[in-house]
Amino acid sequence: MNPAANATNAAPTTTPSDVVRNISLVLDEMSGTVVKIDEQQMARIASHLAHPGRIFVAGAGRSGLVLRMAGMRLMHLGLAVHIAGDVTTPAISSGDLLLVASGSGTTSGVVKSAETAAKAGARIAAFTTNPDSPLAGLADALVIIPAAQKTDHGSSKTRQYSGSLFEQALFVATEAIFQSLWDNDPQPAEELWLRHANLE
């Protein structure tokens, strides 16, 4: 007999009520965290993004993916955006901005990028949960997201796995910053759309 066919070995079934419950969990945790982010910190990062100079985006894992999405939106605004690690990304230099995120503020590649940017005279805008981290210490503009770090599995801040809450709040924060920049920009959506990738 095939063990996989044995009902006692069957995987638990996810029910619609499970999904509804967890949608509420994610939304409640996300909104409860985002409203605690200091809006002055967010506005400071927005000001740095609007400042003349190129924008470089660096992040690892899921945080890095969120920042890549933010970089795409900033490109739609007509800003000069480069993703660290791409083969066509030039050297960062004085007058540029490095946009980074790390929940712990200790992710080695992200901290190294910030150190390199600082040595080159570039400004650093960072998102983290840890105000005492090396990354926070390097930042010219800093947003503290009050979420659990990904290794804090017993946190009372979230029931979600690992760094999910930080990454979700990071997405909302960067979307709000983009929207705020666009609110103060005369370009219509049709003009932004002309910059959307057409080699997909």
Residue 167 annotated to the active site: yes
Residue 4 lies in a domain: no
User: Cβ-count burial of 152 within 10 angstroms (0-12 exposed, 13-18 middle, 19+ buried)?
Assistant: middle
Residue 143 lies in a domain: yes
Residue 24 lies in a domain: no
Least confidently predicted of 50-59, 136-145, 153-162: 153-162
The total number of structural domains in the chain stands at: 1
Average pLDDT, rounded, for the chain:
92
What is the rounded distance in angstroms from the CA atom of residue 84 to the CA atom of residue 138? 18
Query: Mean pLDDT throughout 38-63?
Result: 96
With a CB cutoff of 8 Å and minimum separation 6, the contacts of 35 are none
Q: Express as a percent the part of the chain with pLDDT over 70.
A: 91
Residue 16 lies in a domain: no
Among 29, 115, 167, 175, the active-site one is: 167
Whether the per-residue pLDDT at 94 is higher than 90: the answer is: yes
Residue 127 lies in a domain: yes
At 110-157, the pLDDT tens digits run 999 999 999 999 999 999 999 999 999 999 999 999 997 766 666 667
**Which pair of tokens denotes residue 180?**
């705020």
Residue 25 lies in a domain: no
Residue 9 lies in a domain: no
Kindly indicate the confidence band of residue 196, based on its pLDDT and cuts at 50, 70 and 90.
very high
Q: Which residue has the higher pLDDT, 16 or 2?
A: 16
pLDDT at residue 4 in the model: 53
Whether the per-residue pLDDT at 12 is higher than 90: the answer is: no
Identify the domain containing residue 137 by its residue range. Answer: 38-192
pLDDT at residue 107 in the model: 95
Residue 151 lies in a domain: yes
With a CB cutoff of 8 Å and minimum separation 6, the contacts of 95 are 52, 53, 54, 121, 122
Tell me the pTM: 0.89
Query: Mean pLDDT throughout 67-89?
Result: 97
CATH number at residue 61: 3.40.50.10490
Query: Mean pLDDT throughout 13-42?
Result: 94
